[in-house]
Structure 1
Amino acid sequence: MILRGLAVLLICLNLGVAAWWALHEPPQPLAPPARDDGVGSLVLLGEAEAPPPPDAAELGAVPVPLPAEPSCLSLGPFGTPAELRAAMAALTPGVARIQFREVPATELRGYRVFLPAAGSREAALATARQLAAKGVRDYYVVTAGAQENTVSLGLFRDLGNANNRREELATLGFQAVLEPRTEDAAQWWIDIAAEPGFQWQPLLPRATGIEARPVACE
């Protein structure tokens, strides 16, 4: 009898829970509190949109006002992008207007000493044999390219060493040519507008070889 009573009790409890869920209404979400016109609502940090990145105009904005009669200068050359960025960062707070420009340039890479091109490869090889007979060892015959059939006598970083090599060959009876070795490169200049007498040098203490050229203010 006891077991039968317990079974009846459990059945009644299950029926009661089922009836409660069938008749129960989920609670409605609370309405947001009223707010005065013109007052923004709170936004969760995760819901807020990230601010847009500043555009080029904002990045180039300078707090210094443009003088009535500005002094405009072009500073350079800067040989690397890193040097350019450092100079721009140092100069920007003190000037009214600033921009940079890239210009093509020719960079000196050293000096080349050589004997002019012979009429043929056989003639160039004959000259090489004459050099060897005089005890010259550091040379080679160029067999292709713009310098074909010349006899290279060395590449030098220092002009003095290149001159010494040319004079050494002259004493042996060879008229060697010395010419600079150059290659195309890029340089950067910074154009600024500032107060007359603006002192830019203290702002660029590590910059070497930088000059200031007066330019027309546009």
Structure 2
Amino acid sequence: MFVRVFFLLLLALNIGVACWLYFAPHAPVAAAAAADPGVAKLVLLSEADRSIATDSAAPTAQSAHPADSKKESCQSIGAFSTQADMRAAVKALTPLVARIQFRETRVTEVRGYWVYLPAPANRERALDIARQLSSKGITDYYVVTAGEQPNAISLGLFHEPTNAEKRLNEIRSLGFKPEMTQRSDEVPIYWVDYAQTGDAPFDWRAHVPVRSELHAQPIDCF
């Protein structure tokens, strides 16, 4: 009987010790050294890639804001009266400048001075006045049939105002009442704009045929 009791106590003691060992908190194990002293640390390839990407981020951000480009100046040459002259200038200057473009604008240009007799009330009256002119030796006239002033009697279109004034006085001396008006139209003109780098002067006239009407003026760069 005593032996059985002793055996049960010993069994209970063993079970208690086992439970204590199983459920007791474990002391942390010190991490082993990554490498022996003097030996380079082993780095995984994926970690190295991430490190390189991080290190290169700053230079990339800097490269997104490059240094200011070289100083530029821009000029506009004109005005060219024909596309042929403008294109010849573009062809000559293109290899010599940083950028080049052309543009078209429109201006009002005097075409001449028109001397005429104002239109009467009807066609019959206009023809009657024309016959009176013929009887006084004026044959270079024309009775207008259409346009803004039908039945007016044209006495000539002159490029020079002095010639127009002379004709005006001639017809007046015959007892008529002529008038003179300036004729003008909108015409296209052309400009060549170019950009150059640096401060060195650029003699565009050495490459573009020199014409007295051409000049250069500074413009905002494009």
Range class of TM-score, shorter chain: 0.5 to 0.7
Q: Secondary structure at the match of 2:133?
A: helix
Alpha-carbon distance between aligned partners in 1 of 2:177 and 2:70, rounded to the nearest angstrom? 61
Deviation of 1:171 after TM superposition, in Å, equals: 2.2
Q: Secondary structure at the match of 2:145?
A: coil
1:187 to 186, 189, 192: 189
Alpha-carbon distance between aligned partners in 2 of 1:177 and 1:210, rounded to the nearest angstrom? 36
Alpha-carbon distance between aligned partners in 2 of 1:204 and 1:98, rounded to the nearest angstrom? 14
1:102 corresponds to: 104
2:203 to 199, 206, 211: 199
Higher helix share: 2
Give CA-to-partner distance per residue, 1:24-44, whole Å, 9 cap, x none. Answer: xxxxxxxxxxxxxxxxxxxxx
Deviation of 1:176 after TM superposition, in Å, equals: 2.2
Aligned residues: 152
1:78 to 80, 90, 97: 80
Deviation of 1:168 after TM superposition, in Å, equals: 1.2
1:151 to 125, 143, 153: 153
Name the % identity: 48
Deviation of 1:137 after TM superposition, in Å, equals: 1.8
Q: Equivalences for 1:24-35 in 2 at 5 Å?
A: none
Alpha-carbon distance between aligned partners in 1 of 2:100 and 2:185, rounded to the nearest angstrom? 29
2:32 corresponds to: none
2:217 corresponds to: 213
Alpha-carbon distance between aligned partners in 1 of 2:70 and 2:173, rounded to the nearest angstrom? 65
Give CA-to-partner distance per residue, 1:52-83, whole Å, 9 cap, x none. Answer: xxxxxxxxxxxxxx741x33222112222221
Deviation of 1:180 after TM superposition, in Å, equals: 3.5
Q: Secondary structure at the match of 2:137?
A: coil
Alpha-carbon distance between aligned partners in 1 of 2:73 and 2:177, rounded to the nearest angstrom? 53
1:128 corresponds to: 130
2:166 corresponds to: 164
1:88 corresponds to: 90
Structure 1-normalised TM-score?
0.59
Unaligned runs of 5+ in 1: 1-65
Q: Secondary structure at the match of 2:220?
A: coil
Give CA-to-partner distance per residue, 1:7-50, whole Å, 9 cap, x none. Answer: xxxxxxxxxxxxxxxxxxxxxxxxxxxxxxxxxxxxxxxxxxxx
